[in-house]
Structure 1
Amino acid sequence: MNAAVLIEQANTAGIILALNGESLAWSARKQPSPELLIQLREGKAQIIEHLRQQQHGWLDRVAALLNTNAGTLLEHGLIDLDDLAEQYQKHPRFAALLIETSPAWQKVNLVRDEVRAPYAREVRTECVPTKVNKGNTPKRENSTNKRRAPEWIAGRDAFHNHAVGNCNKCYPPAARYCPTGLDLLALYQMAMQ
């Protein structure tokens, strides 16, 4: 039987399987059926290999999020075998965020940046004169638009509060409004003009 299917059957029966070094450990709240225990014993090597692959895949994803490799994380003790056994079913970003806050990671990252610095490509940028940029900047609103802005905002808020938030008869995607919704929509559209 496939190792993934055996693990799924064990999880369904309330058995938690985990690698403990090179051996397989399990725990359960109640005694599992003897048939399932026999299947797990017969597929033990496959289950161990499957769990190991899942853990290493998780470790590779954590390393990719940190822009490093799995060997670096293991070598510097940022992840150990217990972490692999406990955390591999959780999303890798949680482990990556925790590792980023570690002082050990700060040191590893600092050394890595110092080693890479001589080989980094030089990026040159040139400043663009301010005269060129002035042509593309948006113009300020004139005073008549500033006076109308609160009216427009008030109309928008009243329409949205009614049609989107409170009225069961209004449905804006289908342009279906109750009489109050139609009045608020008209006020909103007039304020925008």
Structure 2
Amino acid sequence: MSTPRDALPAVIATERLTLRAPHLGDLDALVALANNRNISDPSASLPFPYLSEHGRGFIERASRKPERRPYAVIGPDDQFIGIVGLHFAADSLPELGYWLGEPHWRRGYATEAVVGLLAAARATSLFPTIMARVLASNPASIQVLEKSGFEVVEHTHSVVERHRGKPLLILNWSA
């Protein structure tokens, strides 16, 4: 049985980045970068502290979860720098999620990774609209999404436990 994740390529190359499946060789860098409050606090799901067992579990589940398609973001130096991916829920639009390690911020990598994934999604013709959610207090992430072609479609409040009641933006991208 084919799933939406199966329609996406195994590897996506952009000008400076490679997006590919996370693997155990990424574990040390994944844990080192994700174990940062500046990364975990605005996310909906990253725990803090982010421990080796969290990273190992994420990597092991990445290849087995049909509702998720995460990609390791590999930088120009062939080092792991973050994650970008899509989540597919039965009665919802595919949802984009991403994070980059703080040492890799402000270099255009997040936008490049998002645009690369969106181009691959567009090429499948299966994902005419993709959504993203971002805290209104996260202007850098809002900028990444807007530069990638997302538009705000709703102002609401988060229902995620760690952000409950905080202003949240819902954005959509259309192929």
The reply to whether TM is greater than 0.5 is no
Return the index of the structure with the highest Cα Rg.
Answer: 1
**TM-score, length basis structure 1:** 0.20
- Where is the helix percentage greater, Structure 1 or Structure 2? 1
Tell which has more relative contact order, 1 or 2 (C-alpha 8 A, sep 6+): 2
**TM-score, length basis structure 2:** 0.22
